[in-house]
């Protein structure tokens, strides 16, 4: 994919998420039967040791409306360094900022940052943890995203990518029917058609999951990108899963 194609793809995704921002949370909770909340909390617990460090520098990239950020904040100590919550869809990020502002004074908070995951406005070697929930799949270039995350992570810094996958077996077949036929129909009823496009945003979801690398392929990309300890933990029969890795320590 060329640079111009990548820019066009990114612009389309940005427009789509801005268009569904007002109903994004409702759609996610309805379409997942609230299982998404469990996935966020489970992901946060995976990194509880880093989150417990009040000085740890943490980024939730492609944060959307901030639900993953809120799950991470639950495990941060009082007075800890704020979490950076970044997204390039302004309307999504604005809704996340509203959630962060509602947290009680004195608790660890989050700073909303409008930024592109492929061009982070952050210093190299500056972060202890990067987490992204259901956003990495939407990047125009996965290798570029992994390189950028590697750049801003400190040596020894950790990466967590929570995203969908396609389970196998009978469960996979049943889920495929729901995911590709029923889910888009419900999404269209609730959110309406996407502005400027013939397909609704929830037709985009199953299409993007089909195009997303299977776990072994993404783990290979992570290893090739210079990460160590690359692993995938399936959630809910493999409907989703958490990829984990770290930037190697400098010898």
Query: Percent of the chain beyond pLDDT 90?
Result: 61
Task: Give the pLDDT of residue 193.
Answer: 53
Please compute the mean of the pLDDT values over residues 149-156 and round it to a whole number.
98
DSSP 105-123: TTS--EEEEE-BTTB--S-
Query: Across 125-134, 171-180, 203-212, which has the greatest mean pLDDT?
Result: 125-134
Residues with Cβ within 8 Å of 183's Cβ and at least 6 positions away in sequence, in order, are 31, 202, 205, 206
Q: At what angle do helices 201-211 and 3-20 cross, to 10 degrees?
A: 140
Please compute the mean of the pLDDT values over residues 104-119 and round it to a whole number.
85
For 58, 62, 123, the CA distances from 4, given in Å and listed in that order, are 31, 21, 26
Task: Give the pLDDT of residue 22.
Answer: 64
Domains and CATH numbers, the chain: 3-165+213-246 (3.40.50.150)
Give the lowest-confidence range in 58-67, 97-106, 222-231.
97-106
pLDDT band for position 195 (cuts 50, 70, 90)? very low
pLDDT digits (tens, 9 = 90+) for 34-59: 788 999 999 999 999 999 999 999 99
Task: Give the pLDDT of residue 29.
Answer: 67
Paired with 119 in beta bridges are 116
For 45, 61, 191, the CA distances from 103, given in Å and listed in that order, are 20, 20, 28
- Average pLDDT over the chain reads 87
Of 30 and 249, the structure prediction assigns the larger pLDDT to 249
């Amino acid at each position: 994919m060329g640079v111009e194609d990548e820019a066009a793809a990114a612009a389309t995704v940005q427009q789509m998420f801005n268009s569904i921002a007002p109903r994004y949370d409702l759609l996610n909770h309805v379409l997942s039967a609230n299982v998404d909340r469990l996935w966020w909390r489970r992901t946060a617990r995976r990194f509880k040791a880093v989150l417990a460090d009040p000085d740890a520098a943490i980024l939730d990239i492609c944060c959307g409306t901030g639900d993953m950020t809120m799950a991470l904040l639950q495990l941060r100590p009082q007075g800890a360094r704020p979490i950076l919550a970044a997204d390039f869809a302004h309307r999504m990020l604005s809704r996340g900022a509203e959630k962060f502002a509602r947290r009680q004074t004195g608790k660890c908070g989050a700073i909303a940052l409008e930024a592109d995951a492929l061009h982070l406005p952050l210093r190299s070697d500056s972060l202890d943890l990067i987490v992204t929930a259901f956003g990495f799949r939407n990047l125009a270039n996965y290798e570029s995203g992994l390189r950028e995350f590697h750049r801003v992570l400190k040596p020894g810094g950790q990466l967590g990518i929570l995203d969908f996958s396609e389970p196998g077996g009978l469960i996979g077949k049943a889920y495929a029917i729901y995911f590709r036929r029923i889910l888009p129909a419900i999404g269209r009823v609730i959110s309406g058609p996407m502005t400027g496009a013939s397909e609704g945003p929830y037709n985009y979801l199953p299409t993007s999951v089909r195009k997303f690398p299977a776990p072994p392929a993404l783990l290979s990309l992570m290893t090739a990108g210079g990460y160590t300890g690359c692993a995938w933990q399936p959630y809910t029969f493999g409907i989703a899963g958490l990829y984990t890795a770290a930037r190697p320590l400098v010898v």
